[in-house]
Chains A and B, each alone.
Chain A
């Protein structure tokens, strides 16, 4: 039977909590994990974003680790949220992917009900509450850390938001990287970033930052030329969200390898 009483709400998580508490058992409530932290879980590693002249690039490597093992070689860390935004997640893979999925559903839910897109700031604020909802897991070290990026149609530019474990939301105006190799990626971006970078030099900088992260951090995966697995590079411009094709990413890395190769 249809229930019409929660007509006014556009908060999907609230609807799930009210009506299907079993579906969101992990969210925002203490659970049986308090004493023991499970050992077998996947962790996603390095994600980053960089503003350039046409918008913003959001990217991530494809590896997830399980302790000192490679847990997954082709994990997806970058998720399209709406026509002009995407999220990249680092941290415990299960809750990370669930956060991305829930966030995407929420933004689309809002858009359909209101008949208008949720503003980029509105999306960024809502993501705060999703990260905060994961607090009880975060307290045990099972952390979800997203980077959210989008093209702001009103301001006519790419924007980046980073989060802390408590759901704190902070805007970066140039670049940011997070995850186990985030610090290494940030060092590279710090050297290579310039205001109003072209598409080409921005892609090169991002590829190099992910390479350096994989080079320095044992958990981050580099381009896998044997299995043909390449990092995800996603462009967000006024025209929308588009993944850079694998061939282009492969070419970027071949060029990089040729440059770095020692005689």
Chain B
């Protein structure tokens, strides 16, 4: 009779973490940072129809990185659950905290299942409030469902740490939108330059969206190539 093989829970967990880390290392980054009127989200993404940043509900956006198919399913589920909740109760009752918990439970359950592959994604649930005193929230959700609130800015993706280190030095509060976009794209450029040939970020190579707390009911706005070019001109 052969001996049943034994793998310690610690080992299983370490293996899963390693597996996801290897996936995320390849993933392009998304930066979310607070500016004067809300939250700005910037990603390196030359594609015009497949997005890393998207609208979920009136005040909530989702930034995601990793496997597209996996975060796409979560994006759609998030929109659906939010609409159902807002329709059943009231639009104000749909909050970033609630959505983050929903994602967290789902991702955690998959990460802990013995026969499932953990999701190779990281998420930022971004939320602004019409009331400036409340400010904005950024929730970082890891592949295993653990999450925490970030202050002022947050980064997901392969070189998140390097970008965060730069932002810690360079970020200032109360930036105007053009300045905030300039800061995010310069930071992405710097990190890129450390690894390969330095290159310039252009309106065609980045995806930009914001949650504008001063806007009407729907705070989310996606910037077109023309919009981004105009902001860059304005900033320089």
- Name the segment of A11-19, A43-51, A224-232 touching the other chain: A11-19
B88: chain A residues within 8 A (beta carbon): 20, 23
Whether B83 is near chain A, meaning CB under 8 Å from some CB there, is yes
Contact assessment for A12 and B83 in the assembled complex, using a CB-CB cutoff below 8 Å: yes
Over the window 1-36 of chain A, the binary record of Cβ atoms lying under 8 Å from chain B Cβ atoms (1 yes, 0 no) is: 111101100001001100110010000000000000
B81: chain A residues within 8 A (beta carbon): 2
Total interface residues on A, CB under 8 Å, equals: 20
Q: Is the interface of B mostly helix, strand, loop or mixed?
A: helix
Contact assessment for A112 and B87 in the assembled complex, using a CB-CB cutoff below 8 Å: no
Which residue on A lies nearest to B55, using beta carbons?
A: A112
Contact assessment for A115 and B51 in the assembled complex, using a CB-CB cutoff below 8 Å: yes
Q: Within the assembled complex, what's the spacing in Å between the Cα atoms of A145 and B100?
A: 40
Whether A105 is near chain B, meaning CB under 8 Å from some CB there, is yes
Contact assessment for A113 and B49 in the assembled complex, using a CB-CB cutoff below 8 Å: no
Q: Is the interface of A mostly helix, strand, loop or mixed?
A: helix
Q: Within the assembled complex, what's the spacing in Å between the Cα atoms of A44 and B62?
A: 40
Whether B139 is near chain A, meaning CB under 8 Å from some CB there, is no
Q: Within the assembled complex, what's the spacing in Å between the Cα atoms of A4 and B218?
A: 25
Within 8 A of A (CB), among B44-75: 49, 51, 54-56, 73-74
Q: Within the assembled complex, what's the spacing in Å between the Cα atoms of A12 and B80?
A: 8
B86: chain A residues within 8 A (beta carbon): 105
Contact assessment for B51 and A16 in the assembled complex, using a CB-CB cutoff below 8 Å: no
Contact assessment for B54 and A2 in the assembled complex, using a CB-CB cutoff below 8 Å: no
Contact assessment for A113 and B87 in the assembled complex, using a CB-CB cutoff below 8 Å: no
B56: chain A residues within 8 A (beta carbon): 112
Whether B103 is near chain A, meaning CB under 8 Å from some CB there, is yes
Q: How many A-B residue pairs have CB under 8 A?
A: 48
Within 8 A of A (CB), among B194-236: 218
Given contacts A2-B106, A112-B55, A115-B49, contact A105 B79 (CB under 8 A): no
Over the window 19-42 of chain B, the binary record of Cβ atoms lying under 8 Å from chain A Cβ atoms (1 yes, 0 no) is: 000000000000000000000000
Give the residue of A4, A23, A102, A112 whose beta carbon is less than 8 angstroms from that of B79. Answer: A112
Contact assessment for A1 and B105 in the assembled complex, using a CB-CB cutoff below 8 Å: yes
Q: Which of A2, A20, A105, A108 has the most CB of B within 10 A?
A: A2
Q: Within the assembled complex, what's the spacing in Å between the Cα atoms of A109 and B109?
A: 27
Q: Within the assembled complex, what's the spacing in Å between the Cα atoms of A140 and B77?
A: 37
- Output the least CB separation between B58 and chain A (Å): 9
Give the residue of A4, A7, A109 whose beta carbon is less than 8 angstroms from that of B83. Answer: A109
Q: Within the assembled complex, what's the spacing in Å between the Cα atoms of A115 and B79?
A: 12
Contact assessment for A7 and B87 in the assembled complex, using a CB-CB cutoff below 8 Å: no
B83: chain A residues within 8 A (beta carbon): 12, 105, 108-109
Which residue on B lies nearest to A4, using beta carbons?
A: B73
A6: chain B residues within 8 A (beta carbon): 80
Chain B residues near A (Cβ < 8 Å): 49, 51, 54-56, 73-74, 76-77, 79-81, 83-84, 86-88, 102-103, 105-106, 109, 218
Chain A residues near B (Cβ < 8 Å): 1-4, 6-7, 12, 15-16, 19-20, 23, 101-102, 105, 108-109, 112-113, 115
What are 19 inter-chain pairs, A to B, with CB distance below 8 A? Answer: A1-B106, A2-B74, A2-B102, A2-B103, A6-B80, A7-B77, A15-B80, A16-B84, A16-B87, A23-B88, A101-B87, A102-B87, A105-B83, A105-B86, A105-B87, A109-B79, A113-B79, A115-B49, A115-B54
Q: A7-B76, A16-B84 are in contact. List 15 more A-B contacts (CB 8 A).
A: A1-B105, A1-B109, A2-B106, A7-B73, A12-B87, A16-B87, A23-B84, A23-B88, A105-B83, A108-B83, A108-B218, A112-B55, A113-B76, A113-B79, A115-B54
- Ranked 7 nearest A-B pairs via Cβ: A2-B106, A2-B77, A112-B79, A4-B73, A109-B83, A112-B55, A105-B87
